[in-house]
Amino acid sequence: MLVPDLSVTREALETAIRRAARDLLSRQRPDGHWVFELEADATIPAEFVLLKRFFGRREPEREARIARYLRRLQEEEAPTAGGGWPLFHGGPLDVSCSVKAYFALRLIGDDPEAPHMRRAREAILAAGGAERSNVFTRAALALFGEVPWRAVPAMPPEIMLLPRWFPFHLSKISYWARTVVVPLAVVMAHRPRPVAPVGAGVAELFRTPPAKVRRWPGGAHAEEPWKTLFGALDRALHLAHGWFPPATRRRAEAAAERFVTERLNGEDGLGAIFPAMANAVLMYHCLGVPEDDPRVVTAWAALEKLVCDRHGPPGREETYVQPCLSPVWDTALAAHALLEAGGPGAEGAVRRGVEWLLPRQVTEVRGDWAETRPGVPPGGWAFQYANPHYPDVDDTAVVVLAMDRARRAQGRADPRWDAAIARATDWVVGMQSKGGGWGAFDADNTHHHLNSIPFADHGALLDPPTADVSGRCLAMLAQLGRDRDDPAVRRAVEYLLAEQEPDGAWYGRWGVNYVYGTWSAVTALNAAGIEPEHPAMRRAVAWLKSAQNPDGGWGEDGFTYPRRGGTRADPDRRMGRSTASQTAWAMLALMAAGAADDPAVERGAAWLLAHQDAEGGWAEPDYTGTGFPRVFYLRYHGYARIFPLWALARLRNLRQGNSRRVPHGL
């Protein structure tokens, strides 16, 4: 639907803001925080079914609800996925995701000759068959004997004993890779079989019988000479399986168990992410830890906290499993939107949100990040309810930005807030990488050769600095009053300016994609005092206007990420259909770049007003969050309730003020 190029009236804008704020306020939890559903593709619920069935844990009622969820996704995505399952709404079939979803339905009891199963099988075979699955899917299939273990790249537990100078070391890979790989290495060494017969398989999904497959796929991003060198090492490690000295293997497995148990994180789970939690359960099983051991009980309880039940009419209830939970992120972002909206109700809600965030600052645990920054005191926030070994630089900056703005709004000092901000600032500055940018969880995690190991076919083994995280950190420092003479600010500005793409956009690592990255960078540069007339700002405005859809909104899907990795856009990249969150990001970026009066902003606001629903939010089935570019995407259910409110309220505030300059870091 085309939005007419008409002015957005003050009354219409105010009405939309009021409704959106009321909707967001209604979703605040009694203790002050917000947490919205965080949905990935069909992979996670499918893996949950496989894990349960590996241990012979049958749950007919829950499995029936998961099956309904998987079948509904398959039906809804049929126009683009052709009978399989995609990685994001409206995307093409993904073989790995589809194999797991199909396998889960087989285990649940769906007839392989049922129409929906036949369609899925035909689609998977047409896409090359299950032999085209990625490493983690092949590892899951190997656990059930569906492929030989040689189909999975080697990762022996002896990696735990490698010295730091060695080309591969745990400290050189990302937090999420660390927590997933360590328990999985033990599992791969033991090669366990299911505890109870599963009664189903997926042999029919292979075009070539697994025993006859000679070359399993790798990542398109792998580069020479590392690809050849690591490939030869992988073959050698497979030949050496079973020949590692028993004493060395015992030491390595004991080190892996200590690593996992130290980071078990109570009922919030290892790394607070599903794949690591699931692998922890499997690792304890391989090591002979009894099911009633507190470690195992806790590991299972963490998985259960990710299960999300959706109510509906009898027979239509659904269940899926979230990859993790996002309460700190959701609460901080909601606070920003409400601070922009203003009003007594909003200000009170923000205070309660900040009070909820305050005790969740990590101040005692020196997590894995301290390996490269041993002299920096802890002071960050995690993404989840608890994850003390892995605080998140991005979350920390967004929390500080909200907390600082809230303390200014309330007009009085609070020593607790001031101390938390000071400690967090010291931690963020300490986490700055050598090139001036920031990664999400580690500093200088830039050992790019490791992305070429066979195990890293997803191309996301590392956590290097990115424009979006760096933008938030720069915005935080600038809002706190640090000017361009500050060394951290100067280096961050130089980093961001150097990261701008030739067309004027910035790459978005943690949100889809160039609209997200451009919003993150432009708001930070504005906060740091870069004027709208600066060439980088002008190029950003020009790109945003060129990317606006004819209907007035903005949108991208996951395939705007470059096919072979990196940040430079593919030549045939296209934007996607308009979404509420991406339209809001574009508007916020344009306003920060000094283009608040540009007709593009007006048309974006008109699109948002035209698509607001009766509750005050916006429907957004699209996946606008990113886990791993081109591999794993996220649908933040709160984004379409937070960002449009934020953008519309900012537009109103700029219109009503004496200046068109955005005075905040975000």
Neighbour tally for 431: CB within 10 Å: 26
Q: Is 468 labeled as catalytic in the residue annotation? A: no
How distant is the alpha carbon of residue 529 from its chain centre?
30
- How many Å apart are CA 367 and CA 179, to the nearest integer? 12
Question: Quick check: 403 and 413 in contact, CB under 8 A?
Answer: no
* HEC letters along 19-67: HHHHHHHHCCCCCCCCCCCEECCCHHHHHHHHHHHHCCCCCHHHHHHHH
Selected catalytic residue, list 268, 330, 394, 463 = 394
Question: Quick check: 620 and 312 in contact, CB under 8 A?
Answer: no
Question: Quick check: 401 and 666 in contact, CB under 8 A?
Answer: yes
Question: Quick check: 152 and 139 in contact, CB under 8 A?
Answer: yes
- Residue 215, sorted as left (phi over 0), alpha (psi -120 to 50) or beta, turns out to be beta
H-run or E-run covering 176: helix 175-190
Phi, psi of 554 (to 5 degrees): -130, 155
Mapped onto helix, strand or coil, the DSSP state of residue 358 is: helix
- How many Å apart are CA 651 and CA 630, to the nearest integer? 33
Q: Which residue, 604, 559, 597, 603, is CA-closest to 579?
A: 604
Question: Quick check: 31 and 356 in contact, CB under 8 A?
Answer: yes
The beta strand positions in 237-338, using DSSP E, are 307-310, 318-321
Output the six-digit token pair for 656: 């009503």
Mapped onto helix, strand or coil, the DSSP state of residue 75 is: helix
H-run or E-run covering 628: strand 625-628
Output the six-digit token pair for 635: 């649908």
Q: Which residues contact 150 (CB under 8 A, 6 or more apart)?
A: 238
- CA distances 291 to 54, 218, 262, 526, Å, are 14, 36, 19, 55
Q: Which residues are catalytic?
A: 394
